């Protein structure tokens, strides 16, 4: 039944307009999220028990330990098989992965979690806001309506929902045996976007690792407290000591460049030690925030 203040003709016009808006936003969104960056990439040790197991750009990380391993991020639904192949190539068993973590629930980072969970039986931990989005299969409550509709009907942006086993709060630590990762809820890109900090042993030194959130915003996903969240997130990340830093998009932290340099370096870990690059990443995010740019 139509409300009596709208005629069938008006309804048809309204549907046409919504369809056009949806197509425009989908194009922009696909462009922004770059459904590329998932070619196969050589897995490698970054330092100590910390490994890269992601694709060319859609990142995934493995942190190994005697009581089980942790995997951070899973790429797109179709990236999961690459992640599993990389874990096997490094000589580890997917069944020993006990914990899954996520930086943010957009399909390029949360999409493959269900497949990894199914193969490993691992428990997934997420912040409150990310948990809701992950468990819904990628619905972003802050995305523009046409995108949400496309997600609801399974046309774009949706993925097999993983099971969220635990929710953490800002500052909580997730542990597997001696592995301890501290969660920093650094919202902005999405409300529940989570940065992670953890120590890694390399020989006789301990290196501080930070996996920093995406700090940019998509024009298609905004919310009222977003600027304040980004401001705070940049401040929080500036306060974390980072010898080694990474992000969910591998090109931002120079995966390939550092990997190539590590193959000839006297100490293969050294090319990954990059506190200047970390500061530059945060400076660039701050400029983007001040200039009101989206990405
Ligand atoms: Zn995203």
Residue 113 confidence class, pLDDT cut points 50, 70, 90: very high
- Binned at pLDDT 50, 70 and 90, residue 147 comes out as confident
Residue 219 CA, ligand 1 centroid: distance in Å: 11
- The rounded mean pLDDT for the chain is 90
Residue 8 makes CB contacts below 8 A (sequence gap 6+) with 2
Tokens coding 269: 């870990």
Q: How far is the CA of 189 from the centre of ligand 1 (A)?
A: 6
DSSP annotation of 211: E
Between the CA of 105 and the centroid of ligand 1 the distance, in Å, is: 7
Residue 152 pLDDT class (50, 70, 90 cuts): confident
Distance (angstroms) between ligand 1 centre and the Cα of 203 equals: 35
**Per-residue pLDDT, 21:** 62
233-264: per-residue pLDDT in tens? 999 999 999 999 999 999 999 999 999 999 99
Where do the H-state alpha helices sit in the chain? 8-33, 80-89, 107-110, 113-120, 128-135, 145-152, 226-238, 250-253, 255-264, 275-290
2 alpha carbon to ligand 1 midpoint, in Å? Answer: 37
CA 254 to centroid of ligand 1, rounded, Å? 18
Q: Say which range, 145-159, 170-184, 214-228, 279-293, has the weakest mean pLDDT.
A: 145-159
Task: Tell me how far the alpha carbon of residue 19 lies from the centroid of ligand 1, in angstroms.
Answer: 24
Nearest CA-CA partner of 70 in 91, 45, 88, 87: 87
Task: Name the band, by pLDDT with cuts 50, 70 and 90, for residue 32.
Answer: very low
Q: The whole model's pTM is what?
A: 0.87
Instruction: Give percent of the chain with pLDDT exceeding 70.
Output: 88
What CA–CA distance (Å, rounded) separates 183 from 195? 6
Q: Would you say the C-alpha torsion 227, 231, 233, 237 has a positive or negative sign?
A: positive
Specify whether the CB–CB gap between 83 and 74 falls below 8 A.
yes
Specify the pairing of strand 205-212 against strand 194-202. Answer: antiparallel
205 alpha carbon to ligand 1 midpoint, in Å? 34
Can you give the pLDDT at residue 30? 55
The answer to whether 98 and 69 have CB atoms below 8 angstroms apart is: yes
Task: Give CA separation, 130 vs 7, 41, 110, 125, 147, in Å.
Answer: 40, 27, 10, 9, 18
Cα–ligand 1 centroid distance for 67 (angstroms): 31
Separation of 264 CA from ligand 1 center, angstroms? 34
In this prediction, residue 31 carries a pLDDT of 46
Task: Supply the pLDDT for residue 148.
Answer: 82
- How many residues make up the chain in this entry? 295
CA 284/CA 171 separation, integer angstroms: 25
**Alpha carbons 91 and 104: distance in angstroms, whole number:** 28
- Note the pLDDT tens digit of each residue in 37-61: 678 999 999 999 999 999 999 999 9
- Residues 192, 207: Cα–Cα separation, whole Å: 26
22 closest CA partner among 148, 140, 107 = 148
Q: What torsion, rounded to 10 degrees, do the Cα atoms 263, 264, 269, 273 define?
A: -110
219 or 62, which is more confident?
Answer: 62
Q: Report the separation in Å between the CA atom of 180 and the middle of ligand 1, taken as the mean of its atom positions.
A: 25
Report the pLDDT value the prediction gives residue 35, as an integer from 0 to 100: 53
Compute, in angstroms, the gap from residue 171 CA to the centroid of ligand 1.
Answer: 22
Task: Please give the distance, rounded to the nearest whole angstrom, from the Cα atom of residue 60 to the centre of ligand 1.
Answer: 14
Question: Rounded to the nearest whole angstrom, what is the distance from the C-alpha of residue 111 to the centroid of ligand 1?
Answer: 11
Name 198's bridge partners: 209
């Amino acid at each position: 039944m139509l409300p009596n203040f709208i005629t069938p003709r008006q309804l048809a016009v309204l549907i046409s307009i919504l369809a056009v808006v949806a197509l425009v936003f989908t194009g922009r969104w696909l462009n922004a999220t770059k459904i590329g960056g998932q070619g196969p990439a050589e897995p490698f040790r970054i330092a100590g028990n910390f490994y890269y197991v992601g694709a060319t750009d859609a990142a995934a990380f493995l942190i190994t330990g005697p009581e089980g391993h942790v995997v951070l991020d899973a790429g797109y639904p179709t990236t999961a098989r690459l992640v599993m192949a990389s874990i096997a190539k490094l000589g580890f068993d997917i069944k020993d992965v006990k914990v899954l973590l996520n930086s943010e629930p957009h399909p390029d980072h949360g999409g493959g979690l269900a497949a990894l969970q199914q193969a490993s039986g691992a428990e997934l931990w997420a912040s409150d806001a990310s948990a809701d989005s992950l468990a819904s299969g990628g619905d972003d409550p802050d995305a523009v309506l046409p995108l949400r509709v496309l997600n609801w009907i399974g046309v774009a942006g949706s993925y097999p929902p993983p099971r969220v086993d635990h929710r953490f709060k800002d500052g909580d630590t997730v542990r597997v045996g001696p592995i301890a990762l501290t969660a920093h809820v650094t919202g902005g890109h999405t409300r529940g976007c989570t940065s992670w900090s953890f120590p890694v042993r390399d020989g006789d030194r301990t290196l501080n690792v930070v996996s920093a959130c995406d700090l940019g915003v998509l024009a298609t996903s905004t919310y009222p407290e977003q600027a304040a969240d980004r401001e705070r997130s940049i401040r929080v990340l500036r306060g974390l000591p980072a010898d080694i830093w990474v992000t969910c998009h591998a090109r931002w932290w120079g995966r390939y460049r550092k990997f190539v340099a590590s193959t000839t370096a006297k100490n293969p870990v050294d090319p990954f030690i990059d506190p200047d690059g970390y500061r530059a990443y945060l400076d660039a995010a701050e400029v983007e925030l001040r200039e009101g740019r989206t990405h």
